[in-house]
A and B are shown apart, each in its own frame.
Chain A
């Protein structure tokens, strides 16, 4: 299956600006920690995530490493550490495009965390580790469609790996660990049930998408989809320029990101906002800072201002606001306007 041919171009999506922005921000700075897209059925959630894959930057990965270690990173896998210890320094690397690794909801634990390599064990008696999805997802996007339907025990495994950035495998006489830092992207239809709060908090950003009620936009959606399916290649070619432009925009933003300044008054505004909204913990503050910074980078600005914070506040905070039973939840956008207006 030539997957690239059948991928709908990101820039051909109509509307859904918040969803697109959240995905772009993550592409600019993966440390934002992924995005959860909640929405009714048929609102291009999955299409957008898969489309993002083509805009993702190239990574440097250690040649021959099963886990795609970053040659200049500080978190190498055991194999790479051994190579360094043997004097292989610097480690040879090659470029590799970042990917979207899918976790099917019916995945079994052995395939998610990895397990003993059966054939090797049977034929040669070797106890070899066969990497699973968590290994494949290292430094990539880990995409879970219908994430709210994921089995509890798989969610536990995901949470463990996400918290430590490491996947530890202790099973069937195998004892292995390897880096597993991924951008978690999930889509869900809230009608099908809620997400566990711990898992919800793992998503850096969260956006709610709804159907578009503008008729001419809807006509555009149908027409593009039809053109795409009738002639994927032709359609892809028609959007090649805009895709390339978008890729460059993200690339430029990535390069600029470390230089984008987030001044102290902006950080203070973020802190005040989190306090006003009674958000648990500090993850929200950190994510808000990174997201505002990434947004400024995307806009080609030298520093992130209050307006950037205001733009990302809903997607950073909406899913972290506590809702007490019988109490009306905070309106994030409204509180943001009030608090940030004072700054």
Chain B
């Protein structure tokens, strides 16, 4: 889902000023452009809300940079922070050739390999002249510019780490592949994401100075303007962009003259403490943003001279700074942004109350598969200002008769899964399958039959000791040209953290404890997710009742999304067990298609007594046959028996057993488990812990 780079000046690049509405997003981007030390902008929102469009358009209003013409890192002498060679030149007093260049938006595609991002050994030089040189990567290119990551929440873990490091220090340190280099990498980090596709790691979240939650526009007139624009009726507002660009430049110049009174800093601190933000970065960012806001205001009105930040400036930027920094499990005092008037379903509880603002209040009723969603997002974004926005407040999906609205206490426990063992087992599997695709962190090299992913540094090292000998045998055309032989070639071993995909398949048919079963599952899912961001696990839930199985939660790592989608779970009706198993198999198959290395874990919570047929066969036989497919497809699985009578071996009066089993000492669930190759757990009462414990155990075992 890498974003396509649209060069400036092409017909598709829309003007910044022409984007309708989205004032908060514009404000955030402009503030970050006035003072890059604010630390970038994160834009969260549904697809088709002009996120990407606006970010790319920002390049049009950014002031040009004066850079050292022949510096690979684009050092800006006026800004300080020179690379080693520029600093040395300046130290010697030698003239440095300067050049004025436009500021660009540099893309970091999701699929980028780590060596492309941080830079790597220069292959051509190495092979032709046997010398080792550093070839700068995306971080070098982004120095002094905007680094844009679309779908930043989907960025590979190891790239996020690299990005964090560079963003924090403003320096890229490379110690890999035989290369040791460091260069300035000071950029404005801009990320966009759709929160429904998973959360961002808290560490990365905090690195973004500002954050905006965007929604589709609700004013019909605005929407009309978007459509008109899309049809080319409104031409790009070139003049407005030019005016904005000069304002930005003026604001930058004014910035050092803007004074921040102590009272403003104090207010920022009080706000930060009151909102229970984490760490101290919020105060600092608030003050800087307020100052940038003041400078921008002065530039717009043409003020000059002594400027002072007002409390109003602070207030106008505070929410941009705080929205992503409030503690997720904080006090209920923090405001919950819910722009569309729909009451946000609060799961208030004695223990934990999620009071973080909802990322996007409009609810896409049924998000499509992720890949498709991504494609649509890119398209819609580049087509123009959000022609395809959400449909406003969503009506709850038409549930079945008895909707359970959860409103009472759901204490959510955090489960601790020993990380070390998990990762070790992952490593083992990874090294077997890792070379299939070229993703993941390059951790080592080895000799393979056919080299498809060349580890250049390792290859060079392998070839190096033989060079003299080979040169004597066959004198090369160029003195230091490297002579490679097949046996020198080394394949990269790549490592990737593999996420688990935990699919809960829950019986929602009518029984005395159906609601309890759903509640327990729901809180188990939330507990898993609250722990999951550490490990990138995803959770899905399918429920079956009546005559259908329904995916009530698509695979997600987002606590937010799960809370919303699982707040109403329907129960009642008969038990279409086969339908459920088939739906689970389908879901796991399609996830495996997308990522062959995903580690699924199927968790069936049921009494195992299917009584509705899918293909017209005897329900029990059908279910048994489908269960066997779980084993065939090597899906790890668990069966949690929710019937109350399994230990006694007699049949319950309350539920409706299949007539064939009556009188037999037959445990339907245990039988299913055996056919699935699943671990079987019998429980008197299905509780959150009763679900979590076996799941945690299963995740710990090698798959």
Residues in A whose Cβ lies below 8 Å from that of B174: 104
Q: Which residue of B lies closest to A172 (CB)?
A: B461
Q: Are A106 and B283 in contact (CB under 8 A)?
A: no
B475 part of interface (Cβ distance < 8 Å): no
Residues of B in contact, count (CB < 8 Å): 81
Residues A211 and B82 in contact in the complex (CB < 8 Å), given A172-B462, A222-B287: no
A324 part of interface (Cβ distance < 8 Å): no
Q: Are A108 and B534 in contact (CB under 8 A)?
A: no
| Alpha-carbon separation in the docked complex, A230 to B258 (Å) | 12
Residues in A whose Cβ lies below 8 Å from that of B176: 106-108, 110-111
B81 part of interface (Cβ distance < 8 Å): yes
Q: Which of A125, A151, A193 contacts B465 (CB 8 A)?
A: A125
Q: Are A219 and B265 in contact (CB under 8 A)?
A: yes
Q: Which residue of B lies closest to A125 (CB)?
A: B468
Q: Are B460 and A118 in contact (CB under 8 A)?
A: yes
B533-570 contacts to A, CB under 8 A, are 534-535
Q: Which of B82, B130, B469 contacts A123 (CB 8 A)?
A: B130
Q: Are A222 and B171 in contact (CB under 8 A)?
A: no
A35-43, A63-71, A76-84, A331-339 - the one binding chain B: A35-43
Residues in B whose Cβ lies below 8 Å from that of A127: 465
A121 part of interface (Cβ distance < 8 Å): yes
Residues in B whose Cβ lies below 8 Å from that of A225: 284
Most buried by A among B256, B277, B464, B465: B464
Q: Which residue of A lies closest to B444 (CB)?
A: A109
Q: Are A222 and B162 in contact (CB under 8 A)?
A: no
A226 part of interface (Cβ distance < 8 Å): yes
| Alpha-carbon separation in the docked complex, A125 to B130 (Å) | 12
A85 part of interface (Cβ distance < 8 Å): no
| Alpha-carbon separation in the docked complex, A123 to B443 (Å) | 27
Residues A192 and B201 in contact in the complex (CB < 8 Å), given A42-B279, A121-B464: yes
A105 part of interface (Cβ distance < 8 Å): yes
Q: Are B161 and A152 in contact (CB under 8 A)?
A: no
- Minimum C-beta distance from B252 to chain A (A): 14
Residues of A in contact, count (CB < 8 Å): 61
Residues in B whose Cβ lies below 8 Å from that of A146: 161, 164-165, 203
- Minimum C-beta distance from B509 to chain A (A): 35
A59 part of interface (Cβ distance < 8 Å): no
- Minimum C-beta distance from A40 to chain B (A): 5
Q: Are B173 and A104 in contact (CB under 8 A)?
A: yes
Contact indicator per residue, chain A 1-21, by CB within 8 Å of chain B (1) or not (0)? 110000000000000000000
- Minimum C-beta distance from A199 to chain B (A): 10
B102-140 contacts to A, CB under 8 A, are 114, 118, 126, 130-132
Residues in B whose Cβ lies below 8 Å from that of A108: 175-177, 442-443
Q: Are B83 and A222 in contact (CB under 8 A)?
A: no
| Alpha-carbon separation in the docked complex, A115 to B416 (Å) | 39
Q: Which of B177, B420, B482, B535 contacts A122 (CB 8 A)?
A: B482
Contact indicator per residue, chain B 237-273, by CB within 8 Å of chain A (1) or not (0)? 0000000000000000000100010100110111011
A189-218 contacts to B, CB under 8 A, are 189, 191-194, 196-197, 211-213, 215-216, 218
Most buried by B among A108, A109, A172: A108
B179 part of interface (Cβ distance < 8 Å): yes
B180 part of interface (Cβ distance < 8 Å): yes
Contact indicator per residue, chain B 148-175, by CB within 8 Å of chain A (1) or not (0)? 0000000000100110110011010111
Supply 12 further A-B pairs (C-beta < 8 A) apart from A1-B184, A106-B158, A222-B268: A46-B168, A106-B441, A108-B175, A110-B461, A111-B178, A133-B175, A145-B165, A146-B165, A151-B495, A189-B203, A211-B278, A222-B283
Can you list 19 A-B contacts (CB < 8 A)?
A1-B184, A40-B278, A40-B279, A41-B203, A43-B279, A46-B169, A106-B162, A118-B130, A118-B178, A118-B457, A145-B168, A172-B462, A192-B201, A192-B203, A211-B277, A212-B280, A216-B269, A222-B268, A222-B284
Question: Which 9 A/B pairs are nearest by Cβ-Cβ distance?
Answer: A42-B279, A121-B464, A125-B468, A42-B281, A108-B176, A218-B269, A122-B130, A111-B175, A107-B175
